Amino acid sequence: MGRNGRINVLLHVTGNSAQVSIIDNGTGMDSETVSHIYDCFYQADTSRSTAGNGLGLTLAKRIV
Residues 6+ apart with CB under 8 A from 4: none
Which domain range does residue 36 map to?
7-63
pLDDT at 33: 86
Would you state the pLDDT for residue 13?
A: 97
Percent of the chain residues past pLDDT 70, beyond the cut = 83
- On whether the CB atoms of residues 56 and 44 are closer than 8 A, the answer is no
- State residue 52's pLDDT score: 62
Mean of per-residue pLDDT scores for the chain: 82
Q: Assess if residue 19 is contained within a domain.
A: yes
Does the pLDDT value for residue 53 go beyond 80? no
- For 1-29, write each residue's pLDDT tens digit: 567 889 999 999 999 999 999 899 988 88
- Total domains in the chain come to 1
With respect to residue 1, please indicate whether it lies within any of the assigned structural domains.
no
Contact 5, 24 (CB under 8 A): yes
User: Which 3 state secondary structure label does DSSP give 30?
Assistant: coil
Phi-psi region of 56 (alpha: psi -120 to 50; beta: other; left: phi over 0): alpha
Asked whether residue 2 is assigned to any structural domain, the reply reads: no
Residue 30 counted as domain residue = yes
